[in-house]
Homo-oligomer: A and B are copies of this chain.
Amino acid sequence: MTAASKTVSDVIHSHFGKLTRAEKQLAESLLDNYPVSGLGSITTIAENAGVSTPTVVRMVQKLGFKGYPDFQSHLHQEVEATISNPIAKHDRWASNAPGTHILNRFADAIMGNLRQTLSALDTATFDSVASLLSDRKRGLYFVGGRITGALAEYFFTHMQVIRPNTALLSSNSSSWPQYVLNMNPGDLLVIFDIRRYEQEMVSLATAARKRGAEIVVFTDQWGSPAAKLARHTFRVQIEAPSAWDSSVVTLFIVEALIEAVQSSTWDETKERMKTLEGLFEQTRLFRKLS
């Protein structure tokens, strides 16, 4: 009954004040390297904590469990939840292991970003954007800033293969007006704008809106000013143990969108890709001949 939705860790914390010395010692041993330390038998964890087995039994009963097996089965469920859900609660490792290699610290940060971004991301938004992108009647325009330009290009390169009517705006803003001129109502402008937001993005978005275009913005957790003009916004967690922001999670969403669009229009796309393959082949032949 107790500890139905709360985690065992929560239960321990909330009872911590009422625990006796040996029980506190045991509780700390359990929380240290939680929840794995509670996987073994009562004998094992009693030894690890340096207390007797009756202490363990008394404590878990004090925490509201029927007995040690009951306690352990709760723990097992938690481990299961943690392991089988990849976006699971990995808050633990965050601060630990400070001296590790930059690769590992980066990996930690990225996983955290991914988890946070996904938990804050509405799948409905994602699906809506995917369906907008899939609509071949809409013209598609991509634009990014100094750093995010590469992401816009990546997105564009793929979408160009999948569907027609796609354009990449150069990161040089002087050429933007001519693109805006060509926009029709219902066209889609995909903007990448993360911090050190570029002023011109707002102007571009405003102009595009006036032409009746829909806007999708990829930005960070603080939000580009252009997001106010957007139909849909992806707020991505971009923090990294670095002087630079991380674009990894943004790229992740881009790739997922590419796949979503691709699979929703596979029949049409298949033909395009075949044709494209043929064109590449021809180009190669050209070169060999020349």
Contacts and interface: CB of A to CB of B under 8 A. Distances in A.
A39 B84 CA distance: 14
A151 to B, nearest CB: 7
A246 B106 CA distance: 18
Interface in A69-97: 73, 76, 79-80, 82-88, 90, 92-93
26 contacts: A33-B84, A40-B73, A85-B93, A86-B104, A87-B107, A102-B256, A103-B118, A103-B123, A106-B256, A107-B252, A111-B111, A111-B114, A146-B157, A149-B153, A150-B151, A150-B154, A150-B157, A154-B247, A158-B244, A240-B259, A242-B259, A243-B262, A244-B255, A244-B259, A244-B262, A246-B255
Interface of A: 33, 35-36, 39-40, 73, 76, 79-80, 82-88, 90, 92-93, 101-104, 106-108, 110-111, 114, 118, 121, 123, 126, 146-147, 149-151, 153-154, 157-158, 199, 240-244, 246-248, 251-253, 255-256, 258-260, 262-263, 284
